[in-house]
Amino acid sequence: MSPQSVLARSSGSGLTDQSRIEQAWQALAGVLDPEVPALSVCDLGIVRDIKLAGDGLQVVLTPTYSGCPATELIERQVLQALDDAGLGPARVLLQRAPAWTTDWISPAGRRKLQDYGIAPPGPVASALTQPLHFVAYRAKPAALACPRCDSHRTERLSAFGSTACKSLHRCLDCLEPFEHFKPI
């Protein structure tokens, strides 16, 4: 899918440009990620910019994963939210570069993940520049903290979870399974 734009239906009211943009950010703070409904699209860091282009709003979105099946749904929900708030017309511009990273998840988003029972991602910075080490030579990674009881006695059950962005773990103290948002 190449960068594309979609037009929302409604027309703008008499707001000043600045307050229209501020209200748009507030409206999008209520749009939840369909796959991880604990987070809004703003918490997730995929809304890169909102600006005025002509008489409409332009919302710049960066997809999380190449194959994320929620991308099109998120686009529609973003336009719907702006429409419902009377802030349209609006367009969505998909911007691939720079690539989305879990480092863009806000501090508030990390707390929400934790409260929802998903261990938040650690920093990505070094992860992508390190050479890969395969199973025979790899040091055991530091155990994640259980988002329910904070114990560090946890183990990984599966490298992938209900979505590509998560892995599945288990706490050896409270015995609850939990998901982890993988750093990427």
Partner 1 sequence: MALPTSVRLGGEPGLQYVLRLADTCLILSHRLSQWCGHAPVLEEDIAMTNIALDLVGQARALLSHAGQMGDPKYDEDQLAFLREERDYRNITLVELPRGDFGFTMLRTTMVATFLKLLWQRLAPSCDPELAAIAGKAFKEARYHQQHAADWVIRLGDGTPESQRRMAAALVQLWPYTHELFDSDAIDEQAAQTGLGPRWCDLQPAWLAEMGLILRPAGLTAPAETGFRSAGKQGVHSEHMGFILSELQYLQRAYPGGAW
Residue from 21, 65, 114, 148 binding partner 1 (CB under 8 A): 65
CA distance 178 to 25: 31
Q: Are 33 and 65 in contact (CB under 8 A)?
A: no
How many residues bind partner 1 (CB under 8 A)? The answer is: 29
Q: What is the DSSP string of 163-180?
A: STTEEEEEETTT--EEEE
Q: Which is nearer to partner 1, 1 or 16 (CB)?
A: 1
Residue from 14, 54, 67, 107 binding partner 1 (CB under 8 A): 67
Task: For residue 60, give the DSSP letter.
Answer: E
Residue from 19, 30, 69, 125 binding partner 1 (CB under 8 A): 69
According to CB under 8 A, which residues from 77 to 116 bind partner 1?
Answer: 96-100
According to CB under 8 A, which residues from 135 to 174 bind partner 1?
Answer: 135-137, 157-161, 163-164, 168
Residue from 16, 54, 132, 140 binding partner 1 (CB under 8 A): 132
Compute the least distance from the CB of residue 163 to partner 1, in Å. Answer: 8
In DSSP terms, which residues pair with 58 in a beta bridge? 51, 91
Task: For residue 30, give the DSSP letter.
Answer: T
Beta strand 118-119 with 177-181 is parallel
In a 3-state reduction of DSSP, which class is residue 75? helix
Q: Which is nearer to partner 1, 114 or 163 (CB)?
A: 163
CA distance 96 to 62: 6
In DSSP terms, which residues pair with 59 in a beta bridge? 50, 92
Compute the least distance from the CB of residue 161 to partner 1, in Å. Answer: 7
* Residue 70 makes contact with partner 1 by CB under 8 A: no
Give the binding site for partner 1 (CB under 8 A): 1-2, 63, 65-69, 96-100, 128, 132, 134-137, 157-161, 163-164, 168, 182, 184
